[in-house]
Amino acid sequence: MNVPTSYGEVEEMIRAPINDKDRWWINANIDDSLNHGHVNLESYQLILEEVLKDKPKRVVDIGSNLNQYAYLFTNEGIEYVGIDVNASMNPLTYQGCIFIAGGYEQVREWFKDDVIISHLCVGYFIEKEEVLCKRLILGDELRRSKYDKYGHHRKECV
Ligand SMILES: C[S@@+](CC[C@H](N)C(=O)[O-])C[C@H]1O[C@@H](n2cnc3c(N)ncnc32)[C@H](O)[C@@H]1O
C-alpha cells in the first residue's frame, strides 16, 4: 500500500491507474462493506445524500477504517481520501481512492479547503473544533436527526 506523505502526492496518487493486483481486493472490500453493519452503511448513505447537494471534487473521510465505504463516493465520480490511525488491516485503495495512514491532526492543514466527512470519529476521538475544512458532514449527527435512540424514524414518532 502506498501512502501519500505530502499534499502534492495526494494529487498524484489519487489519479494513478488501478493495477490488476488490487482489483480482487476492491471487490472483496465492497462485498464486505455491503455486509458490514447496516447502521454504518446507512450513515454513509446519509453523508452521501448531503455531499451530493453540492457535489465536490473530493471528500476526505476522517477515521475511514478500511476505506470500505469509499465506493459510495467514487461511484458518483467524487474522489475519496481516507485517513485512519489504524493502517494494520490493509485498507482499500484504487484510482480515485487513497488512504493516509496516521492521525488526522498530522495532515489537517492539507485539507482545509475540502469537504470533510466522518462517522463515529470526529466528535469522539477528535473534537469538531479541531477540524479545518470547507464543510464538515458527520454521519452520526445525520443519523440522530433522522432516528431516535431506539432506531425509530423521528417522523413516525410525532
Ligand atoms: C468507530 S471507528 C469508525 C470507522 C468508520 N468511519 C465507520 O463508520 O465504519 C473509528 C475510527 O477512527 C479512527 N481514528 C481514531 N482516532 C483517529 C485520528 N486521530 N485520526 C484518524 N483516525 C482516527 C480509528 O482507528 C477507527 O478506525
Q: What HEC string does the chain produce?
A: CCCCCCHHHHHHHHCCCCCHHHHHHHHHHHHHHHHCCHHHHHHHHHHHHHHHHHCCCEEEEECCCCCCCHHHHHCCCCEEEEEECCCCCCCCCECCEEEEECCHHHHHHHHCCCEEEECCCECCCECHHHCCCCEEEEHHHHHHHHECCCCCEHHHHC
Domains: count for the chain = 1
Residue 157 domain flag: no
- Write the single-letter amino acid at 120: L
Among protein residues, the one whose CA lies closest to atom 2 of ligand 1: 120
| Vertex 68: Cα angle to 1 and 56 (nearest 5) | 95
Chain-wide mean pLDDT for the chain? Answer: 86
Among protein residues, the one whose CA lies closest to atom 1 of ligand 1: 120
Residue 145 domain flag: yes
Of 9-23, 51-65, 73-87, the one with minimum mean pLDDT is 9-23
Among protein residues, the one whose CA lies closest to atom 23 of ligand 1: 63
Residue 155 domain flag: no
pTM: 0.85
Domain CATH for 113: 3.40.50
Residue 137 domain flag: yes
Backbone angles phi, psi at 21, to 5 degrees: -55, -35
Nearest atom, ligand 1, residue 68 CA: 9
Residue 87 domain flag: yes
Mutate to test the pocket of ligand 1, among 81, 85, 128 (most ligand atoms within 8 A of CB): 85
- Reply yes or no on whether the pLDDT at 20 is more than 80: no
Residue 45 domain flag: yes
Residue 38 domain flag: yes
- Reply yes or no on whether the pLDDT at 158 is more than 60: no
Q: For 137-157, how does the pLDDT look when each residue is reduced to its tens digit (9 = 90+)?
A: 999 999 988 877 777 777 655
Rounded CA Rg of the chain: 15
Among protein residues, the one whose CA lies closest to atom 27 of ligand 1: 65
Q: For 48-78, how does the pLDDT look when each residue is reduced to its tens digit (9 = 90+)?
A: 999 999 999 999 999 999 898 999 999 999 9
Domain interval for residue 16: 7-150
